[in-house]
Structure formats: structure tokens, C-alpha cells
Amino acid sequence: MKTKTQITILFLAVTLLCVVGKTSEGKDFGRRDAKPNVLFIAIDDLNDWTNMLNGNPQARTPNLEKLASQGMVFTNAQCAAPACGPSRAAIMSGIRPSTSGNYINRASIIHNPILNNSVLLPEFFQQNGYYVCGAGKLFHGAHFNGELKGRGFDEYYPSKNQDLPRPDVKFSSPLPLSGIKGLPKYTDWGPFHPDVTTENTPDGKTAKWAADKLVGGELKEPFFLGAGIYLPHLPNYAPQKYFDMFPLEDIKLPEGYKEDDLDDISGVALTMGHPGWFKKIVDAGQWKPAIRAYLACTAMVDDQIGRILGALEKSKYADNTIIVLWSDHGWQLGEKERWTKFALWERATRVNFVWVVPDVTKPGSVCDKPVNLLDIYPTLASLTGSKPPEKQLEGNDLSVLMRNPVASWDKTSLTAYEYKNYSIRSERYRYITYSDGTEELYDHEKDKWEWDNLAGNPEYAHIIKEMRKGIPDHQEPPGAGYKPSPKELDEY
């Protein structure tokens, strides 16, 4: 029979365990023994105009900067393809475009046997006991809405047949707000009617859904929660307050723009993915207003990211959740005479790529090694202790660099657009080879804006020979396409 003193000691011990196991906010540190959750945040068309990548000092992205301070930023991260469809297909399958044949937006997933027979990332987590939920643009819209229809997800907002919540917006003037004739209507930009707030926009609704899920505390664990933010994808509409953050008279033109930049380039590079929008924007005297709109939309995106991350921070899941945030490719705002993404130069291929991994990444750490969005799938498999699909994944496990950002790393990063056009990025150089045999080489140690094409300089022949080792041995011909819906023809 226990004495009164023994009972008191036992009570105090149990109480102490409960206190140690939880903070005053209810965060359960005992959860570290369980499989980690995954918060998977995608942003569309966001280039390096963020505070953490310093692509434009006028950018205002404090929430992204805060996230970077909590984990690791990969400053030399590249997309697998500079277009939404093939970039996201590569991320979600772990398969290179050159292996799958999925090179452009209108290439199918379900009619491509290589991709359709793969274990897509949401399916992978389902198979490993995760509750998989998502909202917004995670796959390319036509792939999700018309082909996959929620494949691999237990729950999707607004539905498994529609990735983006419907907007409740209006405008003060007739469209297009830019006033430029001859541009597709989806290239427009400008502020919403003053009554419109972020709550009325698809991204505001996506962020609210994700935040509510996290704060609600009723997610089945372990979970994979994906939140896809659509902006700053065109059209660049945002509430007026975000335009007010960037007075038009203060807008500066891109530092990377040079009038004769294309003089040392020839062949396919001059026409590939080049719709001619930039010239129309400049001729209309709208270059600075268009830049302002991109900055405004980026600021709005940052607020949505802050809302999601703030909710995680307040939730009981904070201490056992991996955060990976990525943008699917970059965007050119006049560089190389482009107003688009479909190119193999730095501003089109460089992406935002941040990881916060409990007990692995160090706050405020930076890695300059060349990495790729293709690396997301194998890295998540490694960090969650889940066996990857056999003979499928072609990316690298980045946990090695997370633990030691200066570890030996002899890998380059490959980007493909259309058939047999490749960019290969090392720590110092970017090499581009096109289907017509033309080449480009840039030394980022001396030429961060890629103004001086060194491919014709014999002094760099040995560098080109080394960089060409990154060209894939197998180059799958373009796969089956799909017939775009009338709605998609109005999108970009």
C-alpha cells in the first residue's frame, strides 16, 4: 500500500511530464518521435525579386524573409522547366522532362505512360500513411482539373475538379486596365475595385483555407498539406493597397536590362517562347506600370504566405512540420527583350526555394550549390523516412546540404524547355545548348546578368566540354498533348 508521501511524489512526477511535454501554447514536443508533417507551399511565376534572393531591392517580401531566417535558402535553385505544366509535372513525379517527354504546358500527364504510371508525390504520401490535402495551384491547372482530378488527395479545396477558388472581384474600369490593345486579355494588370480585399481573391481563399486547417488542430497526422498560390502569375491584379506600396514615380527599370543584350545570340534562342509582349508594353509607355503591378502582386503573395506560416506557428503542429516553399520558375520583366518565362536564362529558371526542417536545418543558413526543384521528391522521402518508388526519382537528396551547406557537391542543375533545348547551371557557370546547335556560356562570377556570351571564346572550350556532361543521355521525344478547354485558352 502506497504511503501519502509516495502518492504525492507520483502525482508530481506525472504533472511534470505533462508540463515538459507541452508549452503554454499547447505545442506537443513528444510529437518529434512521430513522422513529420509536411507543409508544401507553391508560388507561381515568382522570380528572384524577393528579399531573400535580392533580385530587386524594391521588392517587399518580409514574410518570405522571415521564413528564410528560420531555415535554409538555396540561392542557386533552378526549375526543371520554365513553364508551369512541365515544371510541376517534374516536381510531382520526380522525373526529368527529358525522360518523360513532358516539355510544354499542353503536354498531357495521363496520356503520357511514363508520367501516368509513376507514383505522384501526393500518392506517395498516401501510400506512406499520410493524410493528404491541398488547395490552390499545385499541379498545372489543366492537369489537375481536366486529367488528374484530385488523384492522390484525400481532400482538396475547393474540390477535386477545381484547384482554384472562384474569385469574387470587380473593377472600377472596363478591362483591359492596362489600356494596351493587341495583348491577350490574360496579360493585363491593375488594381481591383476599392471594395475588393484579398479575402475575395483565389489566393486569399487558399491561404485562409490552409490557415484554418492548421489552427483548427483537427488534421489527421501525419499530414501533407499543400497550398498553391497563383500570383504573381498573370493577370497581375491585386487590391489597391498593394499598388500604393509602390508609387509609380519610384519604380526602377530592371538592372539586368541591356539594349544590345541579344547581339551575341542567334538561332533558336531569339524566337523560342517569345510572344513579343515586351515590345508592345514598352511602345505603349507601360513598362514601369507593368513592373509596379508585378511588385504589387508579389507583396500580396507575401502576405498570404505570412498568413499560412503564422497559422502553423500558432498551431500544435509547429514543432513537427517540415516546410518546403518553392516557386515553379522565374519571370522576365524586360531582360533579353522578354516579358515571359519560356526561356533558359537565369531570370526565367532561378527559383525561390526554402526549407525549414526541425532538427536538420539551421536558422538563417544559406546554400549556394546548384540544386533543382526535381530534388523535392527524393528529399521529402528521405526526411520523412519513407522508401521512394523504385527506379523513378531522378533528383538528389538535399538533406546532405541541409546538414552541411558547403559539403562536396559535384552536381549541376538541368533545365529543359521544348525538345533538345537545355540549360545547365553549375556554381559558377550557365551553359545553354539549343536544338539547332547554337550555344551560350555565362560566367556568373563576372556576369550575373548574362550579358556576355562566352561560347565563341576558345579560352572557355574546356568549360563547355565539362558543362556538356550535364546533357541527358536519353532525350525522350515530346509526349502526347491534350486539347485545351476554351477557359484555358484565356489563360497563360
Amino acid present at 414: L
* Residue 18 appears among annotated catalytic residues: no
Q: How far apart are CA 347 and CA 335, in angstroms?
A: 8
Sign of CA dihedral 359, 55, 372, 147: positive
CATH 3.50.50.60 assigned to 33-490: no
* Residue 140 appears among annotated catalytic residues: yes
Amino acid present at 485: S
Write out the H or E segment, with its range, that includes residue 236.
strand 236-238
Spans of the chain below 70 pLDDT: 1-33, 483-492
Residue 242 cell numbers, joined: 498593394
Active-site residue (options: 84, 133, 297, 367):
84
Residue-wise pLDDT tens digits, 236-275: 999 999 999 999 999 999 999 999 999 999 999 999 999 9
Amino acid present at 30: G
Q: Is 169 exposed, middle or buried (0-12, 13-18, 19+ CB in 10 A)?
A: middle
Q: How far apart are CA 314 and CA 311, in angstroms?
A: 5
Q: Looking at residue 17, what is its pLDDT?
A: 41
Active-site residue (options: 79, 133, 140, 329):
140
Q: Looking at residue 184, what is its pLDDT?
A: 93
Spatial contact of 353 and 365, defined as CB atoms under 8 Å apart = no
Q: Looking at residue 483, what is its pLDDT?
A: 67
Q: Looking at residue 214, what is its pLDDT?
A: 98
Q: Pairing mode, if any, of strands 37-43 and 321-327? A: parallel
Q: Looking at residue 181, what is its pLDDT?
A: 87
Cβ density class 188-198: b for 16+ within 10 Å, e for less: bbbbbeeebeb
Q: How far apart are CA 282 and CA 111, in angstroms?
A: 40
